[in-house]
Amino acid sequence: MDRYLISELLPPFLFGVGAFASLVLAIDSLFELMRKLVETGLPITIAFKVIALKLPNFVVLSFPMSTLLATLMTYSRLSSESELIALRGCGVSVYRMVMTAVMLSFLITGITFIFNEQIVPAANYEATATLERALKSDKPTFKRENIVYPEYRDIQQPDGTKEKILTRLFYADKFNGKQMTGLTIIDRSQSGLSQIVVSESGEWNASQNVWDFYNGTIYLVAPDRSYRNILRFQHQQLRLPRTPLNVAQNSRDYEEMNIAQAMEQLELERLSGNAQKIRKLKVRIQQKIALPFACVVCGLVGATVGTVPQRTGRGASFGISLLVIFTYYVLLRVTRELGDAGMLPSYLAAWLPNIIGLTIGLFLLVRVARR
């Protein structure tokens, strides 16, 4: 029975992967690339390369949709042709029939997780870099601008409350992959003394774990806000944290990082004390874990709905799948925004759609099994 059900589930699943991935790709990227082909003269070979690099991301997004389509379509057909009734007559329970689809969904969840961790982030990053190189071929391949890194610490107040104050602000106009230019550093980490460093350029000295600054001025500021000293230099070494360089080098979009890279970025953001970025990153990390399990939810819901005696064709199954997936992703977007705003904990913002879907699926399964 398991072999038979799996053989029936795989063809519609593969069809769904191709159909949904193509649909999402066309909506999300294809028209934008066509516009750039016309307006900026983007080479068609680059456009095809970017499409190929973006394809893994859309394949991953199509896995939950395809799981729902395959289970709904397969179990609906078996139900309409009375094959499920025959299985129940042989003593096979609804729970056992649905279990095959759920186990297959767990396998697809593992594949989704591997894709999402090992392939998608690297492909997305390479697609962005390829497009930037093609559109800005006269500029350096690696370049960051307006790098800002604030660092905070909590100060205990006499009334027992804590107040967050800025201890260091690091700013650079540009970073070419090795050297930063147009640097301004406000350092208030030492009690009773502040310094402002303005430098033409600077780079990290890995052998000595210090910053080498060139052609600049250091302003020492006393507690009464008066200038204590002004020092001009051609080359000056200062022991400041390496973190701003890490921020510049690891500047990636959320979709271009795997979980390990996102966790590293989270540690950097915690040092800066930016609460909003920390919340967003926590939600994205949880979503990277929660999204693959949407396949299990879709497999359970699709198989359960499909076991209900009905006359549902392929077109109707495809339409129902689109409706369910649309509802799921709308809920996913709403909970993500609530998590970003701090109205929901990060884990709940990411897992709530799965929890709701799983609850609905189990409720329907119990009702169908009692018939």
Q: Mean pLDDT over all residues of the chain?
A: 82
Of the pLDDT bands very low, low, confident and very high (cuts 50, 70, 90), residue 216 is: very high
pLDDT tens, 79-135?
A: 888 888 788 788 888 888 889 999 999 999 999 999 888 898 888 888 887 877 777
Residue 142 has pLDDT above 80, yes or no: no
- What per-residue confidence (pLDDT) applies to 215? 93
Of the pLDDT bands very low, low, confident and very high (cuts 50, 70, 90), residue 208 is: confident
Of the pLDDT bands very low, low, confident and very high (cuts 50, 70, 90), residue 141 is: very low
- What per-residue confidence (pLDDT) applies to 315? 59
Q: Which two tokens stand for residue 228?
A: 């204590």
The HSE-up count of residue 237 (CA atoms within 13 Å, CB side) is: 7
- What per-residue confidence (pLDDT) applies to 272? 61
Of the pLDDT bands very low, low, confident and very high (cuts 50, 70, 90), residue 139 is: very low
How far is it, in rounded angstroms, from Cα 316 to Cα 72? 10
For the full predicted model, state whether its pTM sits above 0.85.
no
- What per-residue confidence (pLDDT) applies to 24? 75
Residue 304 has pLDDT above 70, yes or no: yes
Of the pLDDT bands very low, low, confident and very high (cuts 50, 70, 90), residue 199 is: very high
Whether 278 contacts 270, CB under 8 Å = yes
How far is it, in rounded angstroms, from Cα 370 to Cα 306? 15
Q: What is the DSSP string of 130-151?
A: HHHHHHTTTS-SS-EEEEEEEE
The residues spanned by each domain of the chain are 2-137+277-369, 144-247
Q: Which two tokens stand for residue 309?
A: 């005696």
Using CA atoms, how far residue 37 sits from 32, 41, 190, 303, in Å, is 9, 5, 54, 43
Please tell me whether residue 180 adopts helix, strand or coil conformation.
Answer: strand
Mean pLDDT, residues 271-289:
83
pLDDT tens, 244-279?
A: 776 665 566 777 788 887 887 787 677 666 778 888
